[in-house]
Amino acid sequence: MRHDHPGLAQARGQLRAVDRDRVRKGPHHHPIRPRGGRGVVPLRPGRSRDPQGHRGRPRRDPGRRGYVYAPPGKGVGFASAGDAPVRILLYKQRFVPHPDPEMRRPWMVTGSIRAIEERFYDNMENVFVRDLLPVDEAFDMNFHTLAFLPGGCHPFVETHVQEHGAYIYEGQGLYLLDEEWIPVQTEDFLWFAPYCKQACYGTGLTRMEYIYSKDCHRDEAI
């Protein structure tokens, strides 16, 4: 279903998931029209938006599979300058401060998935992982990519307290959610509840790859 986001012009969006209990919203999937599609959006809910606030700030072209992380209180502006539509995956989550008041705040991060070197996942040579954000306690979450060569799989069925989403942007495979194996492919989105049993393996002729979020560096509220 179409879900237009405030602050976006010449863009169509789809809201993939909302966790209202933990004030997590995302991701939105926005195809942006060529030459003129633009937007200024706060990546943290509950903050005011200054439509002119991005002017005068450094501009970057992250390119295909580029990404931008905006820290609490900062927004991101973007515009399409090419001849073809651009797709943007927009994820928002309320920031959880570090319990140490002296801990520094997280900072703006930009980059490209292609520029980050992969490493073996759990010492397996057919599954690869990347960290998109610094592994630093200033950040309350991180984004990762996980890639499976054909036949690659998780080494075991896992479960954890963090709930999170995963967006598949390449390939196909089978994903275990609780007790059911579900076929998945490019542009599918998954949302994992706490302690949901999960595992994946690639079934296509090419590698399967997805991006996912994960809370970290904070204790769970009880």
Kindly give the pairing relationship between strand 208-215 and strand 164-170.
antiparallel
Encoded amino acid at 108, one letter: M
- Is residue 30 within 8 A of residue 90, CB to CB? The reply is yes
Residue type, 81: A
Q: How far is CA 67 from CA 50, 78, 92, 112, in A?
A: 21, 11, 13, 6
Q: What's residue 190's pLDDT?
A: 92
Walk me through the domains of the chain, giving residue ranges and CATH numbers: 8-113 (no CATH), 116-215 (2.60.120.10)
Residue 24: its pLDDT value, please? 46
pLDDT < 70: residue spans in the chain: 1-63
What is the model's pLDDT at position 199?
95
* 90 half-sphere exposure, CB direction, 13 A CA radius: 31
Q: How far is CA 111 from CA 48, 63, 114, 212, in A?
A: 26, 9, 9, 16
